[in-house]
Amino acid sequence: MRSNQRVTCPICGGNCFLLDVVDFNKSCEEARGKFLELSGIPIYYQFCDNCNFCFAPEIALWPFDDFEQKIYNNHYIDVDPDYIEVRPRGNALRLISMFKGHAQSIKHLDYGGGEGVLSKTLRDAGWNSDSYDPFIEKGNDIRDLGCFDLITAYEVFEHVPDVHQLMSNLRLLLAPNGIILFSTLVSDANIKKNSRLTWWYASPRNGHISLFSKKSLVHLASRYGFNSGSFSTGFHVYFTSIPNWASHIIRLNGQS
């Protein structure tokens, strides 16, 4: 596709326009003062005038192998040093504390869980937890995984080339009355019309190709029949109804 081709928003169907272009090697580590050499490959981001979803449609069309070769390769750790151990262990500890006393009754899936460190940490603490990563277990049929009361998706949404594939997978995997807890940093106040795309999180080298505004997250939820809420600018929940074991989390944050 041509970078200036007119596209419609995959979330709300609104009109999009070219917001900016960045070098492919723009990485999240720039926030810590570490810069990669420029790749010379321009990556254009489109922006939805209605819901403010911002995305890189050309990368979204890459075949699977390109993601492995160009993004999730041996150097990925250089641009996301916490993804193997630090982040999954920290997130597991937060879940343990969040659902203290309910671990036995929750069937949990960590969607996009990489090597499964988060799930293993939970299992060691007595949880019934599984991990699934579409980039690692690409041959597996997700229908074989079963259904889960709690699905977590940490740093997944911003990586997906196709938000509808993600949502239909989550819908399929979620048990009735289950909830989805996920992290992705919302772009509100960081991505604006008539401003350059300088936000550290807008980094193609990290695979951050789908950047959500709060409004676009709400819109996406409603398209799939979910209610939604946010605990912070980076942590969110999708649910249809609030199960007893999650009522203290959701109500405490004013989501009910």
The minimum distance between CB 51 and Zn ion, in angstroms, equals 3
Instruction: Return the C-alpha torsion angle 17, 23, 29, 31, nearest 10.
Output: -60
The minimum distance between CB 151 and Zn ion, in angstroms, equals 24
Which C-beta is closer to Zn ion: that of 48 or that of 174? 48
- Quickly count: other Cβ atoms within 10 Å of residue 178's Cβ: 23
Q: Which residues pair with 21 in a beta bridge?
A: 44
Which C-beta is closer to Zn ion: that of 12 or that of 191? 12
The minimum distance between CB 240 and Zn ion, in angstroms, equals 23
The minimum distance between CB 190 and Zn ion, in angstroms, equals 17
Q: Which residues pair with 22 in a beta bridge?
A: 43
Q: Under a CB-based contact definition with an 8 Å cutoff, are residues 239 and 226 in contact?
A: yes
Q: Under a CB-based contact definition with an 8 Å cutoff, are residues 247 and 239 in contact?
A: no
The minimum distance between CB 9 and Zn ion, in angstroms, equals 3
DSSP 241: S
Which C-beta is closer to Zn ion: that of 151 or that of 217? 217
Instruction: Using alpha carbons, list the distances in angstroms from residue 138 to 76, 97, 103, 133, 142.
Output: 19, 32, 29, 8, 10
Which C-beta is closer to Zn ion: that of 52 or that of 131? 52
Pick from 156, 140, 145, 93: nearest CA to 120: 93
The minimum distance between CB 12 and Zn ion, in angstroms, equals 3
Which C-beta is closer to Zn ion: that of 46 or that of 203? 46
Q: Where are the beta strands (DSSP E) in 9-124?
A: 16-23, 42-48, 54-55, 107-111
Pick from 20, 21, 8: nearest CA to 49: 8
The minimum distance between CB 155 and Zn ion, in angstroms, equals 22
Residues that bind Zn ion in the complex, under the rule CB under 5 A: 9, 11-12, 14, 48, 50-51, 53
Which C-beta is closer to Zn ion: that of 52 or that of 203? 52
SS (H, E, C) 145-179: CCCEEEEEEECCHHHCCCHHHHHHHHHHHEEEEEE
Question: Please, what sign has the CA dihedral across residues 58, 80, 52, 154?
Answer: positive
Which C-beta is closer to Zn ion: that of 51 or that of 170? 51
